[in-house]
Amino acid sequence: MTTAHSRIDFTLPQGGAGARLRHAFGPPRDVLVARGLHEVRGVLDAVHAAAQAGAWCIGYVRYEAAAAFDTALQTHAADGPLAWFSVHDQALPWPDALGADAPAEVAWTPGLPRGEFDAALDRIQQAIRDGEVYQVNYTAPLHGALQGSADALFAALHRTQPEGYCAHIDAGGTQVLSVSPELFFDWTSDAAGGDILARPMKGTAPRGATPEADAAQAEYLRTAPKERAENVMVVDLLRNDLSRIAQPHSVRVPRLFHTQALPTVWQMTSDVQARTRAGTTLADVFAALFPCGSVTGAPKVRAMQLIRELEPAPRGVYCGAVGVVRPHGPPGEGGVAATFNVPIRTVVLQAQGAVVQATCGIGSGITSGAEAEAEWHEWRHKRAFVERASAAFDLLETLALDGGQLRHLADHLARMAAAAAHFGYPWDAARVQACLQALVVQHAQGAWRVRLLLDSRGAPRAEAFALQPTPTPVRLRLAHRAFDEADSEFVRHKTTRRAHYAAFAPTAPGVFDTLLWNRAGEITEGTFGNIAMRLDGRWVTPPLACGLLPGVGRAVALREGRVAEAVVRIEDLPRVDGWAFINSLRGWLPAELLA
């Protein structure tokens, strides 16, 4: 028998506010596997029967299983089992500490060059103009190799999406690490029928750098015609799909265009509900709904034909379904409950000898008028979740310790606490302050640069280095290209992950820092501090909405009225007649911009 273990942490959307299904599972008493299309329905029937008898079944259905329900739904040939479920007699407590101390790292490589992406979007737009489709969900994989523990990678992924539909399924040579925020369906059924909820997710916008910008992004998502059209098309598709198993006149849409805040993006969802007919089985539900229209497009048959034409390889578990089927209602009455996600935000690990290959799909729905540049950047925002989880990092604050006093301590602690909340790191203010106080006692005299770090377990540590005076004016040089990461969460929050800044660090002798600018041509910051400019007779600093770290020294200068916020573009630089570099460690340093 295949040894396997699984963990699930699912929101229960029909279980009341805050209801969750959070369990671990030991080795199964049975494993149900479909290797051919003709076996898929049989496996789902066996899963249904096992749950009716009191078992818990955890597993997945690959995207390529679609033709098992309708031969018109074309896909590539599958590269693994079409359906896989483990059967368990009981659910165990969730192991909170599992993977917390182990390392995990994946260096991801995009599987799609920009030229191929643009060509695919052109082909989809032509199909839309020709009336073949209204929308196509186009995807491509990221590839990498796991260094370290799958448990640790899942723990890191889980921190990026803690309120979604998360599952770690170990099927031996294949492991599925899904932290999808998207519900495929939640279904409870008994002898009289059942209640089913689908919650398709369509429409994406990046999170804003400030509360005001974040609210504006959410409002844009709610009101943008392109995003609403994308969502409505999928809702209509799901209404039609659900009608195949619904009692007459029971399909309804109680909620449209709901915006959901995720750590790196806003997403739009809508609810589609129905009352299923008596005698409906799990296989019937899949036959009506699979694959979810949010990952195919509309009409589903033609959209899937285009997906097969444009995507060179099978999607696998990505865009299929991952979930749990369990008993429902009084024992012995044969009721079942099934909750499945749409496995976006999902990493699949495959053992190949001594190497564990990792794959993660990224995609978006392409509608009429979709622009390649905007879709390409949407993909970049969507993959931020896996890039965040794929290498360990600490939260970081750099403070000045002078004569036994930590400068602007309250500001630094508030900023680190905000970063801890954003990244899901435990925060214990008393423990952090005790760590700092121990360091202050050891460095009560002189000037020191203090690095305060907080790891993913909430453990602080502090380091001190002698602080040397900085000769002024310091010299700045304008970056030779746009800083593409200006909208990254690793710019909005200070961490030890700084490769995006290091790529712009000055290399010429005598240059103190690089002056960065975003894709819109707006000045943002330096690689290790903020910037002030005297423009038209007043000192200004770029607003956070341009994409920069909310520096403590900058915040102090704003509070004191020394600077005001203003957007400064590259073409405005000839009018700047004064420069300053600002950070909490070194204060306000006069600067000059080199030609």
- Give the type of residue at 398: T
Residues 531 and 528: their CA atoms lie apart, in Å, by: 10
Cα dihedral 106, 388, 393, 348 in deg (nearest 10)? -30
**Distances from the Cα of 176 to the Cαs of 6, 60, 149, 173, 355, in angstroms?**
9, 9, 13, 10, 16
Q: Helices in 55-210 by DSSP H: which ranges?
A: 114-129, 150-160
Whether 226 is catalytic is no
Residues 563 and 540: their CA atoms lie apart, in Å, by: 5
Active-site hit among 39, 202, 378, 397? 202
Residues 263/385, Cβ–Cβ less than 8 Å: yes
Active-site hit among 39, 64, 182, 525? 182
Residues 13 and 18: their CA atoms lie apart, in Å, by: 9
**DSSP, res 300:** H
Write a three-state SS string for 465-520: EECCCCCCCEEEEECCCCCHHHHCHHHHCCECCCHHHHCCCCCCCCCCEEECECCC
- As beta bridge partners, residue 197 has 186, 273
Residue 434's CB is within 10 A of a number of other CB atoms, namely 11
Cα atoms in the 13 Å half-sphere on the side-chain side of 557:
27
Whether 202 is catalytic is yes
Residues 522 and 482: their CA atoms lie apart, in Å, by: 9
> What's the sign of the alpha-carbon dihedral 540, 541, 546, 552?
negative
CA-angle at 336, arms to 57 and 98, nearest 5°: 35
Residues 150/177, Cβ–Cβ less than 8 Å: yes
Catalytic residues: 182, 202
